[in-house]
Homo-oligomer: A and B are copies of this chain.
Amino acid sequence: MGYEISEKLASMKPSAIREIFKSLTDPRIIAFAAGNPAAESFPAQSLASISAEIFATDAAKALQYGITEGYPGLLSVIKDRLCKKFGCSEDGNSFMIVSGGQQGIELTCKVMCNEGDVVLCENPSFIGALNAFRSNGARTVGVELDADGINIESLEKAVRDNPRAKMLYLIPTFHNPAGICTSLEKRRKIYEIAKKNSLVILEDNPYGELRFAGEEIPTIKSMDTDGIVVYCGSLSKVLSAGMRVGFVCAPDRIFSKMVVAKQVEDVHTNQFFQMLCAEYIKRFDFDAHIEQIRALYRKKCGIMLEALDRYMPDGVAYTRPQGGLFIWCTLPEKVSLDEFVKKSLDRFVAVVPGTAFNCDESAPSSSFRITYSTPTEQQIVDGVRIISEVAGSLM
């Protein structure tokens, strides 16, 4: 055993969230922690009937190797949707099916970053993306996040301070974990800063279909006249998370290298499920299905906010999301986050401590993330009551 682990992986630890997820098998736990979509958002019956049909008529194709870019039938409906609803364009861009939005993020970093290059990120940010950057030897630098998106002065300073900054990673719509949306004005400013400084923007939009209040805001990709934005999305929150089907729209020059990089990671995404998704979107009313999911989350988020308004002691702040899955809560500074998380878990409510989302892993946090997606309505009320009591007891 005289060997050494690679430098980029040697210091990495499993994501706290995935580890929490593994411990959620205890049925007494109220799961405010996981980022799982509600089971009701998966159209299981419709998928079952199409699945039977694929096995009956097209099994040899569905079980055989496919092409790296993706099953053409799925690519075509995804392309159509991204262009019509999310401001993507075929002009200068190409589209690929990936094994979940996560793979799109990881591939973008692998294609863009040398070891030691810097990825600027909102702070806090999605831990899966931060770790994907680190696993490729890139360094993550966090930039302050305001209620309307990244702080522009801090972003400009971070660009100045980091000559090796290569990429800017953003979740502009229903941010994970912070639950906020970046304003249109800020999106425009961010795009100009990236353009001026030769940064590639990685726009991660896994929750873009889940708006249940307020007005749609154009994607940053929709402003991309210069070929500098890679856009990642996913069917995880609207069809099935476990199938691992996501997609990417990227400038051609970056795209061609992403195809090569995907080829050597998993050859292609599960062919059967790509065919299943394509047929589902073609045959069923996908927009009506998404509207049902939005209604579900609108209701559950409303219940959680109502419970927070009722039970949570003054001094604890929380976001009021217009979509997505998460509410971001902030305790008064004097409260120990560790103690809060531990005492909540002792009373069978699991939340994710904000430290898990810090770009600087050793930085402190007073915040925690909760979700309304998988708990029942009763669990939402009970869980919020419990964590409110725990917070009150520590203040």
Contacts and interface: CB of A to CB of B under 8 A. Distances in A.
B257 A12 contact: yes
Q: Which of A14, A22, A47, A135 has the most CB of B within 10 A?
A: A135
Contacts of A63: 39, 42, 44, 47, 240-243
Given A14-B263, A47-B55, A261-B9, A271 B242 contact: yes
A336 interface: no
Interface residues of A, number: 89
A267 interface: yes
A68 to B, nearest CB: 6
A264 interface: yes
A393 to B, nearest CB: 32
A48 B48 CA distance: 10
Given A6-B112, A6-B113, A128-B264, 19 more contacts: A6-B117, A9-B111, A10-B257, A14-B259, A14-B263, A45-B55, A51-B55, A52-B52, A64-B240, A64-B241, A99-B244, A99-B266, A128-B267, A132-B265, A135-B264, A244-B266, A265-B266, A266-B266, A272-B273
Interface of A: 1-3, 5-10, 12-15, 18, 21-22, 34-37, 39, 42, 44-45, 47-48, 51-52, 55-56, 59-68, 99-100, 102-103, 106, 110-115, 117, 128, 131-132, 135, 137, 166, 198-200, 226-228, 236, 240-244, 251, 253-254, 256-257, 259-261, 263-273
What are the nearest 5 A-B pairs in CB distance? A2-B198, A242-B271, A48-B55, A44-B59, A63-B240
